[in-house]
Chains A and B, each alone.
Chain A
Amino acid sequence: MVPLNFNQRLYQDSFDRTEFMRRLDIISNSQIIKISMIPFGCEGEPEEYLNQRFIGKRFVEKVRDCGEDIKLYKLTHNIDYRNDQRVESGHFFIYKHEEFEKIFIAVTLEDSRFFHYELRPLLNGVYPEFLFTFIKSNSLKQLIKDFLMRNNLTDVEIKRASQKLRFQEERSMSAVTWPNMSLEEAFTFIHENNGWFKSMQFDVKRYERVITEVFIDRRGIVRTDRQFSMVYDGFIEPACRLLNGNYKLFSNRSRRQTENLTPKPLSIDYSNDLFEDTAVNKKFMAVVSKLEKASVSVLHSNPYVHMSVTDYNDGSTFDIWILKSDQIIIVPQMKGTVAGIKRLVNHIFDSFAEGEIKNYEVEPV
């Protein structure tokens, strides 16, 4: 746990959002500790799902309200596994995004171990109430480029990256590679090999000087050692925007919520004729069939595809149709929750191919 004497003012004072961000920026630029941020979505109040609750074996209690929509929590994990008996604990803040009603950001100044092995699993465990964003490979590249341009930065040097390549020996593989590779080289490789970055850690430079180090993963989780505000604006804000867009697009899709039970389909559009080769249909069906905690049935496989998916997490049910060579149509049935839709879309993007998800519009005949 970070000693309270260093950040005791932050843990003890009351402040508004502006002041909170200002203080984080000051702490960040002291170059002593890293700040980790996890943007997530929640349709209710996160406190309702966290305070005085066990999430698995992790216990959470609210320490205090620091200001409007900013709360400080303490996480305690009593580990008792074989010879490993210890207590892990640490603090984290959760504050509400000022513009997007359902978007929150968890922030911690604790060390990497707490961040990766305690806070991330904790928030993951509050599924489907807490949802994370999803940054497509191309979007991640664009985010980094925009970040450089907006801040007059000149270069990115990748220190570490974890990637997955689709359809490799019939399963995705993960690897940590590419020390000192340029941004363009890395993304070109990943694109050519039909893969995506799970996470990436890189130094950002202005000429030869390292300005900040950034860790970012596909779910918009960010960790940085300097220039908090700059990194926040460059990565967390867009991640929040994406997530808010997901909520808007995926909400109220259940047929039960529509007039006359009319379906409200979504489409995933591709820029190329992916399904022109019917062998790709087979790959697609094999991929969807691997969706965990779900029943997946194929009703028609060739030349068009019609599948039915029931999500065992919350009972959401979807029909999937491929009727054009560049499009997948997803039709939520009576129940199609935001979490259920997101899980299915993420799975298709992760394991098959990333496309553009949108409201399905019938083209004029």
Chain B
Amino acid sequence: MNEAIRNIQKKIDDYEQTIIAIVGFMNFYRYDSNHDPIILFQGRKLSMTQNVNADFVTPDIGVLLPDNTGVLGEVKHSFPKEQDYWIRTFEQLMKYDNDLIGWPNNSETVSTHDLVLLTQQARARAVGNYFREKAAAGKISFTRPFCIVEYNRTSQRQEFFFFRVEEGGLSDELVNRKLQDGVSVPMNVFIKEYAAVKLYDAMPELPYLMFLIWNYIVLDKASENELFRGLAKNQKLNVPLTVDEILEALRNGYSFRILNTGNSDRQPQIPKKGWIKKACHKFVTWGEAKWDDDQKTNITFKCHKKYADSLKHFIEEFVKEGEVGQQTLFTEVIDDEE
């Protein structure tokens, strides 16, 4: 059980590291390029046609520069041991190698854009070799500038995120020069972003999502009730919410939406409704909440103050149920539900 708990904790940590990598990389363009202003976006729907919902992609990284060029990228914190699966990531990136529509400007297009794959330093060299081998064999090809950037956390007197180009190059001269040599970004510089962004467009581990809902939404709402303060450990307080309320609270407060608040159909709908429903379903199963309607749109949480460490509690409960390993499958099923 301890190993299963550690495994989930590691995945939660990987999730956080991915967000830190996205924020860190995108901000090279904000602070180190000559461009101003720039627009950063994450998980935005870009498609081959004007139809928003037609065969779209949602890159992890999006940068729109004022000279009508841009950058799209994917972050893969850890690649599986089995290299046969690596092609999927490159196939995803090859989908970004198109004249995509939906950029956050008036024309919704750019003249050209770079493509970037960000991955952890530990695997970057192997991924680079894989790319070179497959590119030579004609199995991977890009028409636009493509670049693999490795990142790693480093510690000295303070914490840094280190970025360096492993393969290829970027069109922006200043950013490229920095990244070719390798650059360490102090983590405390982007603390406001790290603290606010807790979700990107991949579903986090369910216990972590439940922790966010419980601590950041349910307890927050419960505290508006005058009975909350005096609530004893063995007492419960009903907190009615709708799935949409939870969704909006997380989207507006804890997703990359804070980087680009403009309303658009193409703005990322993160978290997805399916994720929230899955979490709510689990709350109900564990007796922490009950559905108020057959459509499962209204839910009442039985809020309490029992947990000295709610994240640990949700992880342990999850592991006890033996659900570890099944989430990935479920995530794929519900991922499309927005």
Interface residues of B in 15-29 (CB under 8 A from A): 16
- Chain A residue with the shortest CB-CB distance to B311: A297
Q: Is A321 an interface residue (CB 8 A)?
A: yes
Q: Give B225-268 as 1s and 0s: 1 = Cβ < 8 Å from A's Cβ atoms.
A: 00011010000000000000000000011000010010000000
Tell me which of A91-99, A106-114, A152-160, A301-309 binds B.
A301-309
Q: Is B130 an interface residue (CB 8 A)?
A: no
Closest approach, in angstroms, between the C-beta of B18 and any C-beta of chain A? 13
Q: Give B135-164 as 1s and 0s: 1 = Cβ < 8 Å from A's Cβ atoms.
A: 000000000000000000101011100000
Closest approach, in angstroms, between the C-beta of B314 and any C-beta of chain A? 9
Contact indicator B309/A319 (Cβ below 8 Å): no
Q: How large is the interface on A (under 10, 10 to 19, 20 to 34, 35 or more residues)?
A: 35 or more
Interface residues of A in 330-346 (CB under 8 A from B): 331, 333-335
Q: Is B180 an interface residue (CB 8 A)?
A: no
Contact indicator A362/B211 (Cβ below 8 Å): no
Secondary structure at chain B's binding surface: helix, strand, loop or mixed?
Answer: helix
Q: How far is the CA of A317 from the CA of B215 in the complex (A)?
A: 8
Q: Which residues of A contact B261 (CB under 8 A)?
A: 260
Q: Is A87 an interface residue (CB 8 A)?
A: no
Q: Which residues of A contact B31 (CB under 8 A)?
A: 365
Closest approach, in angstroms, between the C-beta of B274 and any C-beta of chain A? 24
Q: Is B327 an interface residue (CB 8 A)?
A: no
- Chain B residue with the shortest CB-CB distance to A318: B195
Q: How far is the CA of A218 from the CA of B27 in the complex (A)?
A: 44
Tell me which of B115-123, B167-175, B186-194, B294-302 binds A.
B186-194
Closest approach, in angstroms, between the C-beta of B120 and any C-beta of chain A? 15
Q: How far is the CA of A300 from the CA of B10 in the complex (A)?
A: 9
Contact indicator A319/B195 (Cβ below 8 Å): yes
Interface residues of A in 286-336 (CB under 8 A from B): 289, 293-300, 303-304, 306, 308, 310, 312-317, 319, 321, 323-327, 329, 331, 333-335
Q: Which residues of A contact B195 (CB under 8 A)?
A: 263, 265, 319, 321, 331, 333
**Partner pick for A362 among B153, B191, B231, CB 8 A cutoff:** B191
Q: Is A16 an interface residue (CB 8 A)?
A: no
Query: Which 8 residue pairs across A and B have the least CB separation, nearest first?
Result: A315-B223, A297-B311, A331-B195, A324-B158, A303-B155, A312-B305, A323-B188, A323-B159
Chain A residues at the B interface, C-beta cutoff of 8 Å: 255, 260-263, 265, 273, 276, 289, 293-300, 303-304, 306, 308, 310, 312-317, 319, 321, 323-327, 329, 331, 333-335, 360, 362-363, 365
Subset of 28 A-B contacts with CB under 8 Å: A261-B258, A262-B192, A263-B192, A263-B195, A289-B308, A296-B308, A296-B309, A297-B215, A297-B311, A297-B312, A298-B311, A299-B12, A299-B13, A303-B153, A303-B155, A304-B153, A304-B187, A310-B219, A312-B231, A315-B220, A321-B187, A321-B188, A327-B188, A331-B191, A362-B188, A365-B31, A365-B185, A365-B189
